[in-house]
Structure 1
Amino acid sequence: MFRNLTVILTAALTCVGVQSYAQANLKDLREKPEPRIVNADTIKKNTIQQINVPIPELGLEVNYWKHWTKFGLNANQASFSDNWNAGGVNSMSLMGLFWHKADYTRDRFNFVSELDLKYGKIKNKDQLAKKNNDRIFWDNKLSYKFSDKWALYFAVTFESQFDLGYAYRRNADGEEYIYEVQSSFMGPGYFTESFGLEYKPDKTFSLRLGTGTARQTLVVDDRVKPLTIAEYSERYPKNEPIKADQVKWGLNPGENFRNDLAFQITANLDRDLSKNLNLKARYNLFADYKDLSDPDNRLDLTLTAKITRVVNVTASGILVYDSDQSTKVQYNQGLALGILFSLPR
């Protein structure tokens, strides 16, 4: 038993000695980091070189222009049998329209050009064909935005019509005939230049305050120029003589040009009331600085209901007050079913 105990103690002491010797040797084998100054040439050799990866050119360009176009045809038709007791007259009307808007926006500058063309005719039984719509409107505006909602603007507008406009009468037999010529292309034509402030809270509404506005009225067609009593009798010998020299669009006989300086207010609204219902309105006030108490007013309204992608119903109305044309308010109203193509869709 004593011998076995001696063997066990000897083995234990041997293991402890071996472990202490191994730890001492491992401690000596550890490499201590020493501060060294790295040579600059070594850094250059080991530095990762930058590789430029070629990027192909995509050819992309920023397009600052946006375009919208609409064109279509509206039609109305009614017919009655010979024994229709409720009354009525056979009729047919057609109207073509074209509208284009171009918008250029870059930084604070904005240019908008809007062209609106309409022409239509109506033919009733036993009557001459008459135009029921005739308009040329071209508006161009350049503006510089100095805040989120306000901008300085300069605009040039042209307005006229395509075709001759007549006054009609009936003879003793009840037949309709042309009594006299009233208007034509550039008879009159209006050019308006306006400078001022524009308020535009969103994309659907804008209000222009044209503190510096000039409008030129031109009549280049001799058939519609204002006439003296003698000139009228010579041109229309069968008509009733006039009692005073004519005054048209603020022009006296022998005049074909007039320039007015005025204050102008122009409001534009183009808003979708629902997914398939759009309201477009334009109001213009033109107050001559010579007589601010008697301004010219014009309101154009168009309500369009889309039935399908190309078929729509349009209700339109125009209110005009211009004392140079009439002392009473003039109005025009129409309801039509037609086809309208819009680009882009």
Structure 2
Amino acid sequence: MKKKIQLLAGLILISSCVLAQNTQPQDSAQIQSQDSAQIQPQDTIWKVNGALGLKFNQVALTNWAAGGQNSLAMNAIFDFKANYKKDRWKWDNLIHLGYGLSKQGEDPLNKTDDQILVTSNLGYELKGAWFATFDVNFRTQFTDGYNLPNDSVVVSTFMAPGYLVAGLGIGYKPSDDLVLMFNPLSNKTTFVFDDALSAQGAYGVDTLSNVKATFGAFLSFYFKKEIVKNVTFNTLYTMYGEYDDLAAWDVNWDIILDFKINEFLAANLTTNFIYDQDVKIPVDTTGDGVKDGFGARGQFRQALGIGLTAKFNSNKVR
């Protein structure tokens, strides 16, 4: 519990620093704007941008006749992109971090979000927007997860599971806002660096094993577009299929709708869909309403929030 609070506090501290850096005097901001205007696209090597958002929700009740419970929820999100382009080479990097906590009444703190996503893609231009690529995709989480209401048995933690997919293939990138990649030569490694979970063979690893490696094909699609003024649609869709069983594909699909209110206030709607044949969910196998078995199922998460946001960008030239 202490680690969760420290982690969220750390993300809040980072955001306060970013917000402070964005509140510059007018003259300085004008000078920076003029400098940026002089940078030509053909001279740009690095394009760096990112955003950090903090969202809060709080309800306090005293002698409230209609009933209810006090509640508190906090969520921090950090996104960072660094894209390199020179001659026929490109290198795109993305980091997404998310962490959220909620507390209702006398219940203990519970996680509402816990994500670490890192992607990196190295490409060599073949013709036009087509590239030969080497792609790396990594996912895990920060802290322990529990199958609530049981808060004593850990079902996930940092690097349990952790997923690393690396592969060679071909990519299509007509702009920074549209990227399609297909890697027919890919390796997916699942990590379960928790002895109790590995002893159960959790997340598809062999019993008492910490690592599972498979060979297959990987497909990813990224798209970003401002659909109306101040409303931006973002999506990242990935699929991985083992060549031993191409009938079953692992899927991760993230969608984010960003609503800009002003320079420092924003709202967003996020959805996350996961299907992994190695992740077994408690299920009712007999139809009697009792969960008496385990099976692969689609996992879905949706969140809507409003709060502070800080964005930054920078271009580095030759």
Same fold per TM (> 0.5)? yes
**What's the counterpart of residue 232 of structure 2?**
278
Paired residue secondary structure (2:204): coil
Question: In structure 1, which of residues 246, 255, 260 is the aligned counterpart of residue 214 of structure 2?
Answer: 260
Kindly indicate whether the alpha-carbon contact (under 8 Å) linking 1:194 and 1:210 is maintained by their aligned counterparts in 2.
yes
Displacement of 1:180 in angstroms is: 0.7
Which amino acid in the other structure matches residue 69 of structure 1? G
Question: In structure 2, which of residues 96, 106, 117 is the aligned counterpart of residue 126 of structure 1?
Answer: 106
**What's the counterpart of residue 184 of structure 2?**
211
Deviates more, 1:122-131 or 1:201-210: 201-210
| TM-score between both structures, scaled by the size of structure 1 | 0.71
Distance 1:287 1:79 in 2: 48
Kindly indicate whether the alpha-carbon contact (under 8 Å) linking 1:214 and 1:262 is maintained by their aligned counterparts in 2.
yes
**What's the counterpart of residue 164 of structure 2?**
191
Distance 1:307 1:283 in 2: 27
Q: Indicate how the Cα distance of structure 1 residues 95 and 223 shifts in structure 2: closer, same or farther if over 3 A, else same.
A: farther
Percent identity among equivalent residues?
A: 27
Kindly indicate whether the alpha-carbon contact (under 8 Å) linking 2:206 and 2:212 is maintained by their aligned counterparts in 1.
no
Kindly indicate whether the alpha-carbon contact (under 8 Å) linking 1:226 and 1:251 is maintained by their aligned counterparts in 2.
no
Kindly indicate whether the alpha-carbon contact (under 8 Å) linking 1:153 and 1:198 is maintained by their aligned counterparts in 2.
yes
Displacement of 1:77 in angstroms is: 2.1
Displacement of 1:84 in angstroms is: 3.8
Kindly indicate whether the alpha-carbon contact (under 8 Å) linking 2:55 and 2:306 is maintained by their aligned counterparts in 1.
yes
Displacement of 1:63 in angstroms is: 4.8
Question: In structure 2, which of residues 219, 244, 258 is the aligned counterpart of residue 304 of structure 1?
Answer: 258
Distance 2:144 2:95 in 1: 21
Distance 1:324 1:142 in 2: 29
**What's the counterpart of residue 289 of structure 2?**
none
Displacement of 1:256 in angstroms is: 0.8
**What's the counterpart of residue 74 of structure 1?**
55
| Higher RCO structure (Cα 8 Å, ≥6 apart) | 2
- Is 2:311 the counterpart of 1:342? yes
Displacement of 1:252 in angstroms is: 2.9
Displacement of 1:221 in angstroms is: 2.3
Paired residue secondary structure (1:249): helix
Q: Which runs of 5+ in 2 are unaligned?
A: 1-42, 281-295
- Is 2:289 the counterpart of 1:320? no
Kindly indicate whether the alpha-carbon contact (under 8 Å) linking 2:192 and 2:205 is maintained by their aligned counterparts in 1.
no
**What's the counterpart of residue 331 of structure 1?**
300
Q: Indicate how the Cα distance of structure 1 residues 313 and 255 shifts in structure 2: closer, same or farther if over 3 A, else same.
A: same
Displacement of 1:149 in angstroms is: 2.4
**What's the counterpart of residue 45 of structure 2?**
64
Paired residue secondary structure (2:202): coil
**What's the counterpart of residue 181 of structure 1?**
154
Paired residue secondary structure (1:163): coil
Structure 1 segments (4+ residues) deviating >3 Å: 79-84
Kindly indicate whether the alpha-carbon contact (under 8 Å) linking 2:192 and 2:203 is maintained by their aligned counterparts in 1.
no
**What's the counterpart of residue 32 of structure 1?**
none
Q: Which runs of 5+ in 1 are unaligned?
A: 1-61, 170-176, 228-246
| TM-score between both structures, scaled by the size of structure 2 | 0.77
> How many residue pairs get matched?
258
1:88-127 aligned within 5 A? 88-127=68-107
Which is greater in Rg? 1
